[in-house]
Amino acid sequence: MGDAPGGGTGSAGTDTTGLWARGARSSPRHSGGPSRRHLLHTGAALAAGAASAPLLAGCASSEAGSVGPDGRITVEMWHGQADTGRKAIQSLVDDFNRRQSRIRVDAGGGGVVADAMLQKVTAALAAGSYPDIALIFGADLARVARSPRVVDLTDTLRDTPYWPRLWGSVREAVTLNGKVRAAPAVLDTLCVVYNRKLFRQAGVPYPKPGWTWDDFIRTARLLTDPGRGTFGTSWPGTGDEDTVWRLWPLVWDLGGEVIAPDGHSIGFKDVGERALATLARLAADRSVYVDPKPGSEQMHQVFIGGRMGMMATGPWELPDIVAGKVDYDVVAPPTYSGRPCTISGPDTWTVFDNGPARSRAAVEFLRWLGDPAQDVRWAVNGGSLPLSTATARRPEWRGYEGRTTGLPVFTTALSTARVRPVHPAYPQISQAVGEAIVAVLLGRSSPAEALRTCAEKADAALLIPR
């Protein structure tokens, strides 16, 4: 590692500018950057849309010329961040470049936001001119990892002190067929944010950890007031990934899996009907606001406008809720079994092979970036949750949580969070599940009928050789 940079650069002084700070004025969405939930719902769709792109196209590496006159190896990074996120990653890159003399990271960003990164990287791989590092959505990793230009990070990450510090769900999200195919980049969890004022007006007790889905349905019903135009809760209704990923905690809690252990069929045929029946009960009560537009913007505005009691969302929404002066708090998702379970959607830093020297340099940078001393800066200033338990224990993060209502609930939920499978058929499974959810929410199909149709389509996708 030579003069590899050390850690210890985290600064509590940056907390007041963080995305989730109480009273923060800016958020990724308001400042022009892509919102986190937009990233989530577009990820799988982009993967499906790029399914015919020539990711496997071979091409010569561009290692030649990567060493400058000063002897430094240049690493090109496409981060896809805008505004606040861009400033946060650029600050870390500048710090890395100042701390050593052998590697220079060029964080040009790739000229696109993260939403368009898969298409950009796909085209670059086909053209034979691609970056050393790119932000790839977790749902897209299986598709991208089919390219022989994606560097296997198993030996360089899994056998280092960096690896065991990561949350289990994070390690799972970057592992495909037993191999580590990327480094984690961005992390979140799904919990329930609720409007305390509406609870008080309805005379309903605040929800507590360990509450059940029956509790959730009953609470949503009590909070619904057609005369005031108030809804108990909401669910995205477009059938995209933002619609789908919210169902997986219900499936897992009931003992199901997205894909069966044999890999040839879905793993929720026995429990999917009960999970969908929960949505059907909300729809029958007319207590759920079904957002018809992509991005879930409308349901978030209804909540911030004070006309929705509960909303399942991630920490990315806190800045807008704070700015909207909502009297809110956060609770872990309800369960069937009493055992907490939620979902996380980690995105990745994927490394591409431009020759061994550049690959080693890229990995060295990512190992430095993932160190808790740097990760806490990225989490606070870039809008991610801590990638590791070591980061979550740092005083900078604990101080930040202490100033942000509800943020500790999202962090705590990481200990029980699971992730979607890293599987090339996931986009097709997601599409089938999304159609089933929408059919149930709109009363077009019973849970049993919707699941049967979904299973036929998803099983067919899993039978395609890949």
Higher per-residue confidence, 204 vs 25:
204
Q: Tens digits of per-residue pLDDT, 128-165?
A: 999 999 999 988 899 899 999 999 999 888 878 878 98
What tokens appear for 417 in the block?
A: 């969070």
The phi and psi torsions of 103 (rounded to 5 degrees) equal -125, 140
Q: Are strands 183-186 and 347-351 parallel, antiparallel or unpaired?
A: antiparallel
Res 70: pLDDT:
78
Predicted local distance difference test score (pLDDT) of residue 345: 87
Residues 240, 290, single domain; the answer is: yes
User: How high is the pLDDT of residue 109?
Assistant: 66
Report the candidate in 325, 285, 290 with the shortest Cα–Cα distance to residue 311. Answer: 290
Q: How far, in Å, are 6, 8, 371 from residue 3 at the CA level? A: 9, 15, 16
Residues 379 and 408 in one domain: yes
Say whether both 312 and 204 belong to one domain: yes
Mean pLDDT of 32-38: 38
Work out the pLDDT band at 112, boundaries 50, 70, 90.
confident
- Mean residue pLDDT of the chain comes to 86
Any domain includes 259: yes
| pTM of this structure | 0.82
Confidence at residue 444, expressed as pLDDT on a 0 to 100 scale:
97
Q: What is the mean pLDDT of residues 83-90?
A: 90
Place of tokens 């580590």: 180
Residue at token pair 């799988």: 44
Whether 465 has a pLDDT exceeding 80, the answer reads no
Token pair, residue 158, equals 């899994």
Question: What would the pLDDT profile of 340-369 be if each residue is shown by its tens digit?
Answer: 899 998 999 999 999 999 999 999 999 999
- Residues near 9 by beta carbon (within 8 Å), at least 6 away in sequence: 95, 373, 374, 377
Residues in the chain: 466
| Domain assignment of residue 352, yes or no | yes
Please check whether residue 11 lies inside any domain of the structure: no
Tokens of 208: 């507590």
The domain that holds 177 is classified in CATH as 3.40.190.10
Q: CA-to-CA distance for 24 and 318, rounded, in angstroms?
A: 9
Residue 208 belongs to a domain: yes
- Is 242 in the same domain as 144? no
Q: Provide the pLDDT for residue 65.
A: 57
Tokens describing residue 69: 């006159």
Half-sphere exposure of 436 (CA within 13 A, CB side): 30
Residue type for position 64: A
Q: At what angle do helices 117-127 and 36-49 cross, to 10 degrees?
A: 40
Phi, psi angles (nearest 5°) of residue 69: -55, -25
> 366-382, pLDDT tens digit by residue?
999 999 999 999 999 98
Q: Are 272 and 327 in contact (CB under 8 A)?
A: no
When divided into structural domains, the chain yields a total of 2
Residues 274 and 262 placed together within one structural domain of the fold: yes
User: CA angle, 176 as apex, 173 and 181 as ends, to 5°?
Assistant: 80
Q: Is the dihedral of CA 170, 349, 238, 236 positive or negative?
A: positive
User: Average pLDDT in the 20-24 region?
Assistant: 32
Task: Please give the pLDDT value at position 27.
Answer: 31
Whether the per-residue pLDDT at 17 is higher than 50: the answer is no
DSSP 259-304: E-TTSSSEE-TTTHHHHHHHHHHHHHHT-EEEE-STTSHHHHHHHH
In a domain, 51, yes or no: no
Tell me the C-alpha distance between 94 and 353, whole Å. 23
Residue 182 lies in a domain: yes
CB atoms within 10 A of CB 261: 8
Give residue 213's pLDDT: 98
Reported as a single tens digit per residue, the pLDDT across 299-347 is 999 999 999 999 999 998 998 899 999 999 999 999 999 988 999 989 9
Categorize the per-residue pLDDT at 215 as very low, low, confident or very high, splitting at 50, 70 and 90.
Answer: very high
Task: Judge if 403 and 455 occupy the same domain.
Answer: no
Could you give the angle at the alpha carbon of 400 between the alpha carbons of 196 and 26, nearest 5°?
Answer: 75
Sign of CA dihedral 82, 83, 89, 94: positive
CA–CA distance from 359 to each of 55, 152, 259, 371, 434 (Å)?
19, 10, 33, 19, 38
Residue 141 lies in a domain: yes
| Domain assignment of residue 202, given as a range | 191-343+423-463
Same domain membership, residue 216 and residue 304:
yes
Residue 27, domain member (yes or no)? no
Q: Which of 386, 391, 346 is nearest to 171 (CA)?
A: 346
Residues 203 and 288 in one domain: yes
Alpha helices in 50-166 (DSSP H): 84-99, 117-127, 141-144
**Co-location of 414 and 431 in the same domain:** no
Task: Report pLDDT digits (tens) over 242-266.
Answer: 999 999 999 999 999 999 999 999 9
| Same domain, residue pair 392 and 444 | no
Same domain, 171 and 105: yes
Q: Hunting for tokens 């002897």 — which residue is that?
A: 71
The closest alpha carbon to 218, from 201, 232, 200, 203, belongs to 232
Which tokens belong to 458? 């998803």
Tokens of 63: 């290692």
Residues 149, 238, single domain; the answer is: no
Identify whether the C-beta of residue 425 lies closer than 8 Å to the C-beta of residue 460.
Answer: no
